[in-house]
Structure 1
């Protein structure tokens, strides 16, 4: 079993909050983490897709009274958002008894924003955490082969650890089919599975591209408003990321539309029928896929309060990823697939515009070295470690 960093974060959050919501796509490892926490202490686990478990909490007050000394774990909580109003009363009652922390752990497949809309009644009583796939530090990508395996297959545990690339691809195809035909309809949207699959595949084809709703709408023969609705849904399901443009006033004509990434590289490749590493290297999406893969891994290690952006002007100045820390420190990060990275004039121009405190080029090698004045070429796992150890300027 691969240890996940977020397990410690969940335990820490439970020690300071009455309830914790751990959100992430299906099959990403939320239940395993919850069961590990359950095994290490006193807890009761409920799978709300199981009708028997669902019946147990029809009277949540009675169920809690019977299990008041245990952490109550509820899996797939987005299925019953109406429960949060009742939980507020239970939490407040326990607070008056002096039981302030670690009462409930919620697991859900919808996004943090979606759950927050349903749990406004728990304001001040709930902490939110997000789990994505296994990342480069957790998998241990100290060798090129392991790094390439993670990039090709993505971070879903069953895909990453499959016995072969073919079996991994089969798992991801089944995952996509299940999401489209069962999981999304359960959340309410009535969108034909074939239409949403075409849309998802279009996003994979333009991985890392700037949003062009009108072009997507024309290809899918729907309105731009419908495209926005589809995109909102995929973002809410934590399957797609919108990377917003950096927009401070630098007196330049900036690109103002977000970039779009399918968040898991393995799903990107499954949508494009890329089975093995050689096929990936020869595919036109390889550069965009690598960029998205690096961005997701970096963002899995950033400190709280960091806001990610990209920077691009109409005149060609560009930075793939800008990290703005809570103290206003900025890191400029360029992403290169090459093992011998070189920088374009656009990166230098962009750095002149925004004045980053640190400049990095994340590349596909294993050594760290200076590539120019105040610019460091660095492997993915090393910049992730820097972010985990970040203490500020």
Structure 2
């Protein structure tokens, strides 16, 4: 069993709050993590668990065991009961652990019933710091879902294709998304082709016979299911004209590659969108590693109308980091000079070039390193 970095954060939050909400995509390892913590486990997708939780509620509330409620978004009525139990004894921490596979529905319930009563932990599929450095390309190709081929190559890409189909035909309708599965599958195909590019909702809508507001709403649903990320542009105090449309990224590279019918590294290296795939992989590994470490800088991209571009900007409030991502083992002097010129436009304190070098190059302002070295740096 692979130790998960999020475990420490969950334990820490349980010491500080009456309950914790652990949010992340289906099959990313939430249930396994929760079961390692012990306690009484209830799965809200099964009728027997719902009935048992109702029948045993009073004894559970009075007891000292951790109560784990899986797929909590399937039982919205439980949140008011949790609020009552927590408010009756606010001094007791570490009582409830809620697991949710959709951020939108669960966060709405939390904000309505449990604001200030729950700590929040966001969990991702497996990330490189949880694995061996030599597994990087396997992680990039197949993604981080434990059952999706990372640990058993034969499962990829069939597992991912089934995952996407079930998400569109079963999960999203069950979560109240008012869209036909076939329309959502067409949207997925278009979003895969747009990976790493600006999101133009009007153009997408024209292709799908939908208005742009509906497209944005469906993208909200896919974001809430942890499938896509919309990275917003950085524009604070910039004198140049900047691109204002968000960039769209698939959060798991294995799901993206399965959607694009890429099954091995040779195929992947032959794709015209290879660079965008690597870029999105590094961005997601970065943000997931930061989240696992309990760090939450604001994340952006930056691009001016005359072509100055940063793949990732991390805003820490009092300082900014400029990050450029390249699929090369031999970065050129021109790449570094361009990075510095672009970083100067946003007054970035530190500049980072993430590529596939064997050893790092570092000075006061610049770090050129590989992905493993970069993730170690951001998690410190």
Does the TM-score normalized on the shorter chain lie above 0.5? yes
CA RMSD of aligned residues (A): 1.8
In the other structure, the counterpart of 1:80 is 75
User: 40, 44, 62: which is aligned to 2:40?
Assistant: 44
**CA–CA distance in structure 2, aligned partners of residues 124 and 90 of structure 1:** 14
In the other structure, the counterpart of 1:362 is 354
**CA–CA distance in structure 1, aligned partners of residues 150 and 354 of structure 2:** 25
Task: Confirm whether residue 176 of structure 1 aligns to residue 164 of structure 2.
Answer: yes
User: 373, 377, 381: which is aligned to 2:368?
Assistant: 377
User: Once structures 1 and 2 are overlaid, which stretch shifts more, 376-385 or 155-164?
Assistant: 155-164
8 Å contact from structure 1 (residues 134, 157) kept in 2 = yes
> How far does the alpha carbon of each residue in 1:63-109 deviate from its partner, in whole angstroms, 9 at most, with x for none?
534x62211000000011222112111111123xx4x2011000010
> How far does the alpha carbon of each residue in 1:244-303 deviate from its partner, in whole angstroms, 9 at most, with x for none?
111211222111111110100000001001000100110122111111100011112225
8 Å contact from structure 2 (residues 105, 175) kept in 1 = no
* 1:1-393 correspondence runs (5 A): 1-38=1-38, 43-58=39-54, 61-62=57-58, 64-65=60-61, 68-95=63-90, 98=91, 100-111=92-103, 113-119=104-110, 120-141=112-133, 143=134, 146-164=135-153, 166-302=154-290, 304-326=295-317, 328-342=318-332, 343=335, 347-370=339-362, 374-389=365-380
Runs of at least 5 residues in structure 1 that lack an aligned partner in the other structure: none
> How far does the alpha carbon of each residue in 1:196-244 deviate from its partner, in whole angstroms, 9 at most, with x for none?
1111121111111111111111222221111111101001111111111
Runs of at least 5 residues in structure 2 that lack an aligned partner in the other structure: none
Residue 341 (structure 1) shift: 2.1
Residue 345 (structure 1) shift: 6.5
| Shift in alpha-carbon separation, 1:92–1:152, aligned structure 2, 3 A | same
**CA–CA distance in structure 2, aligned partners of residues 254 and 114 of structure 1:** 33
**CA–CA distance in structure 2, aligned partners of residues 377 and 293 of structure 1:** 18
Paired residues, what number?
374
8 Å contact from structure 2 (residues 143, 150) kept in 1 = no
**CA–CA distance in structure 1, aligned partners of residues 340 and 350 of structure 2:** 13
> How far does the alpha carbon of each residue in 1:346-373 deviate from its partner, in whole angstroms, 9 at most, with x for none?
5343212112111111002332125x99
**CA–CA distance in structure 2, aligned partners of residues 348 and 304 of structure 1:** 25
Normalising by the residue count of structure 1, what TM-score does the alignment of the two structures yield? 0.91
Residue 167 (structure 1) shift: 2.4
Normalising by the residue count of structure 2, what TM-score does the alignment of the two structures yield? 0.94
**CA–CA distance in structure 1, aligned partners of residues 304 and 253 of structure 2:** 27
